Structures are given as C-alpha cells and as structure tokens.
Amino acid sequence: MQFKKKYKLKNNINDLKDIFGNLKTYGKYHPLIKNVILVNSKNSSKTEYIVKEQPFNWIPIRMKYLTVVRQKNNKIEYQIKKIPLTKVSFEYDFLHIGEMECEVEFKLSLKSKLLGKRIFLKKMIQAQDELMNNILEEDLYF
C-alpha cells in the first residue's frame, strides 16, 4: 500500500531537515514515539535507531523496531525493520518555497501480511498529520 501527502510548513528548510534527520529530535514531535536510542552513526548519510512506540494509548503495549535513516540532499528516508511480516518506509522530500516556508512531501510504503494493516496505515497517517502540526506550532527560533 502506498500513500502520499504534501504539507506546507512555515519553517526554514534547514531547521526541518535537522528535525527529520535526527530521529531523537523527530521523536519529540511524533505523537506515538515514546523512546529513541541511537544505535549506529558511523556513516553521516546513514544512522540507525531503536524506536519504542505506543500505537494506541488505550492499550499498554509498545512496539520496538529498528529504523535506518538515510539523508541525501533534500530527501530523508526512514526504513523500518524488525516488525514481523511487515516492511515500512517513509520518505520526506523538502522543497524550499520561501525564506520561512517549505513544502514537505511525505511518502509512505507499507507491505504487510498482518490482518490489521489498514488500521496500521491509518494510524501512521494520523500520526504524520499530528507530527506536522506539532512542528508547525513549535517555535523553532528561541
């Protein structure tokens, strides 16, 4: 299953790339992520993190998975690994519109043999909407 959506944010593109390129910072804005641990950062264009996420607040179950973050120019890709029977990847393309405005194109790819994959997809899309709103509301300039 594929999904694509564009967001307009009134932030500097470099500040946004700093947020999305560092999963520890990204996790502070993401509504489902509870903890992020840096695993490997030997390569400046590829970093690995262990992520703990709680998909549903009403169920006290957390998921744990590995995320590989790759950066190239104005593109950041998250490849999610170690979720049984599931392959997930996110891609963020940043387009500079103005000094304090840019467009972020979000692409999601989900391949899963799990029964609840449509619920999982919907939850990920809602989390992205909330993530973008959290970043938009945050004053990145102190």
* pLDDT band with cut points at 50, 70 and 90 for residue 140: low
Q: Is 42 left (phi over 0), alpha (psi -120 to 50) or beta?
A: alpha
| 30 pLDDT above the threshold of 90 | yes
The pLDDT of 114-142, averaged and rounded, is: 85
| 141 pLDDT above the threshold of 70 | no
The whole-angstrom separation of Cα 93 and Cα 85 is: 27
Residues counted in the chain: 142
The whole-angstrom separation of Cα 137 and Cα 107 is: 22
| 64 pLDDT above the threshold of 90 | yes
Predicted pLDDT at 139: 62
| 33 pLDDT above the threshold of 50 | yes
Predicted pLDDT at 57: 77
The whole-angstrom separation of Cα 78 and Cα 92 is: 9
Predicted pLDDT at 67: 96
| Contact (CB, 8 A) for 76 and 89 | no
**Cα-based distances in Å from 22 to 18, 90, 104, 122:** 6, 14, 16, 24
How many C-beta atoms lie closer than 10 Å to residue 11's C-beta? 19
Q: Which of 103, 74, 94 is nearest to 8 (CA)?
A: 103
Q: Considering only residues 110 and 60, tell me which one the structure prediction assigns the higher pLDDT.
A: 110
| Contact (CB, 8 A) for 131 and 30 | yes
* pLDDT band with cut points at 50, 70 and 90 for residue 38: very high
Beta bridge partners of 65: 51
| 101 pLDDT above the threshold of 60 | yes
